[in-house]
Structure formats: C-alpha cells, structure tokens
C-alpha cells in the first residue's frame, strides 16, 4: 500500500520513518564514539565525517518525510485516545518534523558559513567555497545545533515511551500501523 489509510501508514511513510529513526540514532553514537577516542586518534575525523555526511542525508530524507506526510492523511487515532493525548502526540510529531530538518540544517550551515566542505562518505565533497561566509552566523547555528539537540533527544525518548505505552499498556495498534 502506497498511501496512508485510516488503519495504517503506507510503505513510503514507514520506510522514511525507520530510515530517519536509525540514522538520527546513529548521529548520537558517532558523537559518543568520537568523544571516547583518545586525542589525535585518526578515527575522530572518520566519526565526524560519518556524522556530517549522514546528517546531510537526514536533511533531505526529512524534507521528503514532511512533503510525503503533507500529501497523505494520518491514520485514525485509536478510539480510546483522549483529546489531550492526541494533542500531545500532535505537538511531539510536529516538533520532531521541525527538528529532523533544523538539526542537520544548523549543522550544515555552521560549517558551510565558515567555508568547510562536507566529505560525503569519502565519495566526493559537497563544496562550500561559493557559499556566503559569516563567522557570526556560523556561531549562531553552532549554538543552535548544540542546544536543540537536547530538545530532540528528549522528544525522541518521550516518543519511544509513548509507542511502548500504546503497545504494552493500552495494547492498541498504534505501533503496528508504523511496522
Ligand atoms: C529516533 C527518531 C524518530 C523520529 C525522528 C520519529 C518521528 C516520527 C514522526 C514525525 C511521526 C509522526 C507521523 C505522522 O505524522 O503521523 C512518528 C510516528 C510514529 N513513530 Fe516515530 N520517530 C522516531 C523513532 C521511533 C521509534 C524508535 C519508535 C518505536 C519505538 C517509533 C514509533 C512510532 C509510531 C508507532 C508512530 C505512529 C504514531 C501514530 O500513528 O500516532 N518512532 N515518528
Ligand atoms: C539529525 C542530524 C544531527 C544530529 C542529531 C546531530 C547531533 C549532534 C550532537 C549530539 C552533537 C554533540 C553536541 C555536544 O557536544 O554538546 C553534535 C555536534 C556536532 N555536529 Fe551534529 N548532528 C546532526 C547533524 C549534523 C550535520 C549535518 C553536521 C554538519 C554537516 C553536523 C556537525 C556537527 C559538528 C561539527 C559538531 C561538533 C560541534 C562541537 O564540537 O562544538 N551535525 N551534533
């Protein structure tokens, strides 16, 4: 099934959701791995390359995800879900959509505005030389990147708890619709 229906998400929505979920989770592991390596270790650069190149992919997948969702209906809420729960889920989802675009965008801009290119998985470079340069704006996006990640991390944890509560406490089909 291509499009979302009243009872389930279509396959493009599921594919994009799980690809983004895996790639975003990996972003935290690359940083964690980098922070645990001894100073001067060549793998630090490798971890940052993976972080930046994957982030670039997440940015475009995030845009596709939002566009596909705008062109599609959302499956019906389970009848047991109260209106405050629906509001909470709607707000969390909206913020997740914004952050999976804003996080990589701030990462891309903080480097590009200083003239740094992105090494795309050692396959080629996404070049920044023609990009307008601004130290001040780069610093702004750097700060944004470092702070918004806490909001994203918190929302992801809330989102996962929500999915598990539906599965094991309410025992409804919310998780099944996304699998
Ligand atoms: C880690 C990054 C993740 C992001 C950025 C993310 C993002 C999203 C977004 C934006 C939606 C809303 C879809 C809509 O518009 O209807 C959604 C739905 C959903 N997600 Fe995630 N998700 C992530 C991880 C997970 C994980 C790990 C699980 C499972 C444990 C999960 C389970 C679900 C379920 C069940 C729905 C459907 C909710 C519903 O129909 O009300 N997600 N996700
Ligand atoms: C969804 C995508 C992304 C997530 C979740 C993410 C997450 C993070 C996290 C958790 C940190 C560590 C923050 C800290 O040390 O306090 C970080 C740092 C960093 N990120 Fe990202 N990031 C993403 C995309 C990107 C992209 C696309 C780029 C660049 C092209 C990038 C470049 C950087 C750089 C250079 C740092 C190190 C900053 C520093 O040490 O001050 N990130 N990111």
pLDDT tens digit sequence for 110-164: 999 999 999 999 999 998 888 899 999 999 999 999 999 999 999 999 999 999 9
Query: Tokens 């982030």 belong to which residue?
Result: 55
d(CA 90, CA 88): 5
For ligand 1, the distance from its centroid to the CA atom of residue 159, given in whole angstroms, is 7
Residue whose CA is at the smallest distance from ligand 1 atom 6: 21
DSSP string, 89-121: HHHHHHHHHHHHHHHHHHHHHHHHTTT--EEET
d(CA 115, CA 131): 7
> Relative to the CA of 110, which ligand 2 atom is closest?
29
Question: If we measure between CA atoms, which residue out of 162, 171, 21 comes closest to residue 84?
Answer: 162
> Relative to the CA of 23, which ligand 2 atom is closest?
1
For ligand 2, the distance from its centroid to the CA atom of residue 88, given in whole angstroms, is 27
Domains along the sequence of the chain with CATH: 11-178 (1.20.950)
pTM above 0.85, yes or no: yes
Find all residues with CB under 8 Å of 117, minimum gap 6, and list them. Answer: 125, 126, 127, 128, 129
Reading the block at residue 36, the tokens are 């645990």
| Average pLDDT taken over every residue of the chain | 96
Q: Please compute Rg for the chain using Cα positions.
A: 18
pLDDT in tens, 39-77: 999 999 999 999 999 999 999 999 999 999 999 999 999
């Amino acid at each position: 099934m291509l499009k979302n229906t009243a009872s389930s998400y279509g396959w493009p929505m599921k594919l994009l959701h799980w690809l983004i979920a895996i790639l975003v989770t990996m972003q935290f592991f690359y940083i964690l791995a980098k922070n645990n390596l001894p100073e001067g270790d060549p793998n630090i650069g490798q971890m940052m390359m993976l972080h930046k190149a994957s982030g670039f992919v997440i940015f475009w997948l995030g845009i596709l995800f939002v566009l596909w969702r705008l062109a599609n209906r959302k499956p019906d809420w389970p009848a047991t879900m109260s209106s405050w729960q629906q509001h909470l889920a709607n707000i969390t989802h909206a913020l997740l959509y914004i952050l999976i675009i804003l996080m990589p965008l701030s990462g891309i801009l903080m480097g590009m505005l200083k003239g740094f290119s992105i090494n795309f998985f050692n396959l080629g470079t996404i070049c920044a030389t023609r990009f307008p340069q601004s130290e001040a704006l780069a610093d702004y996006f750097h700060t944004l990147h470092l702070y918004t990640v806490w909001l994203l991390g918190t929302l992801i944890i809330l989102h996962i708890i929500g999915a598990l509560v539906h599965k094991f406490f309410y025992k409804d089909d919310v998780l099944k619709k996304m699998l």
